[in-house]
Chain A
Amino acid sequence: MSEEAETPRKNGPLRDVARGIGVISPVLMVYTAIGMAYGVLAIDSGIPPWLAVAMSALVYAGTAQLVGVQMIALSLPPVSIIITAAVINARFFVMASGLVPYLRQFSWWQRTLYAMQLTDATFALHIARLPRGNATKTEIYTTNIVGHLVWVGATTAGVIVGQTAENLDAFAIDFAMPAMFVGLLVPLVRDRGQVLVGLGAAAATIGFFAVGASFWTILLATAVGILIGLGADRWAK
C-alpha cells in the first residue's frame, strides 16, 4: 500500500477501523432516517418485510429503492422497473469512473468488493479523502461496511415500526438528503473554476428538467459541468 510511504502517522488496524467509522458517522444519521422512511414506505406499498430488507441489502441505492417499491406496488412490468433502476443508477457508473485513479493499488476483487458498496455518500467521502493518499484499505472498507449495515438495519427498523410511524416529514426527513449532499459537496470545491462547475451543473439540471429530460438529466448536467471545468482550466492557462 502506498500510504505507508507518505505521511507518518499512528497506524494499526483498530485505529483505521475507528477512522473509517468516524468518516461515515455524519452520514449514518441520514441513512438511519432515509432507511427507516424507505422501510415504512415499502410496508405501505405491500412489499413483504423480508423483501424490503433484501432490497436494501442487494440493491443499496436509496432513490432507486424508493421508486422501485412504488412501481412494484403498482404491479408494473418487472422489466420496466429494472430499466428504471438502471437509469436512476447510471450515475454510479460515472462516480465509479471518477474513483478509478485512486483505487489503482487495489486488486481486481478488492475493487469489485469496493464497488458493490459504492453509494453517493461513500463516493463523495472517498473522492475527498483518497486523493490525499492517507486512507488505508481497512479504513475504506470499514466506512463502506458500516454504511451498508446501518442502511439495512434502518430498513429493518422501518419495516418493524411500519405504519405506526406516520408523518415523518415533520422531522425534516425530506431535507436530510439535500443537507447531506450540500455538506459533502462544499469541501470538494477547491477553486473558482470548480465553483463554476457546480453552478453550471446546477443551472443545467434546472434547464434539462425544464425541457423534460427527467432521469437522464443528471448525466447531461454532469457533462455540462465537466465541460465548463475543462474550459475554465484552459482559460486559467
Chain B
Amino acid sequence: MGEIAMLATILGMSAVTLFLKSAPLALLGSRKLPRVVEETLKHLPVAVLSSMVVQLVLVKDGTLQLDIDDVTMWAVLPTLAAAIITRNLFVTIAIGMGFVVVVRLIAG
C-alpha cells in the first residue's frame, strides 16, 4: 500500500470513529431522555466494561482462548481483589502488572 492510500485509510478510520464517538452527544445531547432510556443507560457502564475485560484477557487474535497456562487469565483474580479492597486505580494496575511480571520471572 502506498503512502497516499495509507493516509486515505487512516482518514477514513478517523471519520467513522469520530462519527461513532460524537453522534449520540451531538444529536441528542441537550434533550431530556425518557426514563426508560435513562434506566437502561444506568447499567451500561458496568456491562460494557465487564465485556471488555473478558475480551482483553480471554480473546486472542479474534478467538476465545481458555488456556490454563496463561498467566494473564489468572492475574485477573489478584487484580480484582486489589480493586475491591483499595478502590484505587493506580494500586490496582500496579498489583495486576506486578503479579504478571513476578509469575513470569518465577516461571522463567
Which chain A residues have a beta carbon within 8 Å of chain B's beta carbons? 25-27, 29-30, 47-48, 51, 54-55, 58-61, 64, 68, 72, 75, 78-79, 81-82, 85-86, 89-101, 103-104, 106, 108, 111-112, 114-116, 118, 120, 123-124, 127-128, 170-172, 174-189, 194, 197-202, 204-206, 209-210, 214-215, 217-218, 221-226, 228-230, 233
Contacts and interface: CB of A to CB of B under 8 A. Distances in A.
A59 B104 contact: no
Contacts of A221: 47, 50-51, 54
B104 A182 contact: no
Contacts of A210: 64
Nearest to B101: A172
A163 B36 CA distance: 52
Nearest to A80: B9
Contacts of B92: 179-180, 182-183, 186
B66 to A, nearest CB: 8
A201 B22 contact: no
Given A82-B12, A182-B80, A93 B24 contact: yes
Q: Is the interface of B mostly helix, strand, loop or mixed?
A: helix
Contact of A64 (B17, B55, B90): B17
B69 interface: no
A197 to B, nearest CB: 5
B68 interface: no
Contacts of A123: 45
B107 interface: no
Interface centre among A51, A128, A182 (most CB of B within 10 A): A182
Nearest to A189: B46
A43 to B, nearest CB: 13
A156 B22 CA distance: 26
Given A184-B49, A204-B51, A205-B54, 14 more contacts: A85-B12, A92-B17, A92-B21, A93-B24, A100-B29, A101-B38, A111-B29, A116-B18, A172-B104, A175-B97, A176-B93, A178-B75, A185-B53, A206-B58
B98 to A, nearest CB: 8
Nearest to B12: A82
Contact of A118 (B6, B9, B21, B29): B21
Nearest to B90: A26
A115 B6 contact: no
Contact of A72 (B9, B55, B87, B97): B9
